[in-house]
Amino acid sequence: LAQTPLFRGVSETALQVAREAFVARSYPAGKLIFEAGDLGAALYVVQSGKVRIYRTYFDGRERMFAYLGPGEVFGEMSLLDDQPRSASAEVVEDAVLLVLYQDGYWSLVRRYPEILHNLAVILAKRLREADLELEVLSFEEARGRVAYALIKLSRQLYNGGNKLRLTHMELAQLSGTSRETVTRVLHALRDEELVKLGSGSVELLDPTGLEEVMLGLR
Ligand code: CMP
């Protein structure tokens, strides 16, 4: 427990009390710990082994959020807000998990509020990661949309010609993104040698490559 960020900087006495509040459980690889939507108010600390956090969607697709190893915490969200589990948790490598139930949690944070602060730090870190991911995802989409707009413009306005005259603003309107995003995407495409940028013009150097971008293949 001393290794987890949840107990960073807390006194030995607090750690001793915490050890008594947690219950150790062994889980074999492949075991589902809980599923998204489950009711449950317990927080877990990975003592050994590996756990993955993911979501399955109706069409069977899955999205991986994280792999967690020793010292890492999960399940804190439902413990804090009493809402159903936001994701599923499954054991990937035989694991020993330390489980903290709500009663234990409350008596612990009342006595040692620094643990609550540590939990807030863990949540802040997760939010930062989620923000970054959101940015990357929307950027990927914008890449595809900008590439699509360039290809479409080349086909419809230039009969397949590769040198397009247009401003970033026009391209933004065509691709349904902001001008800033278009500029960012164009700079990335230029760095990948897919386009050449002039003032008021975009030259398509590699239309096949751009089609791949449009389809999300690169
Ligand atoms: P809870 O909602 O109780 O149950 C699922 C848990 O997965 C959640 O608490 C978090 O601890 C964890 N979790 C949810 N989203 C992420 C994420 N993006 N990265 C890492 N862990 C997550």
What is the pLDDT at residue 64? 73
pLDDT class of 160 with cuts at 50, 70, 90: confident
Tell me the pLDDT tens digit for each residue of 41-90.
899 999 999 899 998 877 777 777 887 889 999 999 999 999 999 999 99
Rounded Cα distance between 115 and 212, Å, is 48
Query: What is the DSSP secondary structure assignment for residue 125, as one 8-state letter?
Result: H
Tell me the pLDDT tens digit for each residue of 96-154.
999 999 999 999 999 999 999 999 999 999 998 887 666 655 666 889 889 888 987 88
Here the tokens at position 190 are 């230029």
> Mean pLDDT across the stretch 182-193?
96
CA of 181 to the centre of ligand 1 (A): 30
Of 181, 183, 210, 184, nearest to 195 by C-alpha is 210
Rounded Cα distance between 162 and 153, Å, is 10
**Ligand 1 neighbourhood includes 130 CB (under 6 angstroms):** yes
- For ligand 1, atom 6: residue with the closest CA: 75
Render 1-38 in DSSP notation, one character per residue. -TTSGGGTT--HHHHHHHHHH-EEEEE-TT-EEE-TT-
Question: What is the phi/psi pair of residue 94, to 5°?
Answer: -30, 130
Of 165, 187, 169, 186, nearest to 178 by C-alpha is 169
Start-to-end CA span in the chain (Å): 42
Helix-strand-coil split of the chain, %, nearest 5: 45, 25, 25
214: pLDDT strictly greater than 90: no
pLDDT class of 177 with cuts at 50, 70, 90: confident
**Ligand 1 neighbourhood includes 39 CB (under 6 angstroms):** no
Quick check: 13 and 2 in contact, CB under 8 A?
no
CA of 30 to the centre of ligand 1 (A): 18
**Ligand 1 neighbourhood includes 76 CB (under 6 angstroms):** yes
User: Where are the strands (E) in the chain, listed by range?
Assistant: 23-27, 32-34, 42-56, 62-68, 73-74, 88-101, 163-165, 195-198, 201-204
The percentage of residues in the chain with a pLDDT greater than 90, rounded to a whole number, is 61
Can you tell me which residue has the tokens 């589990």? 85
CA of 82 to the centre of ligand 1 (A): 14
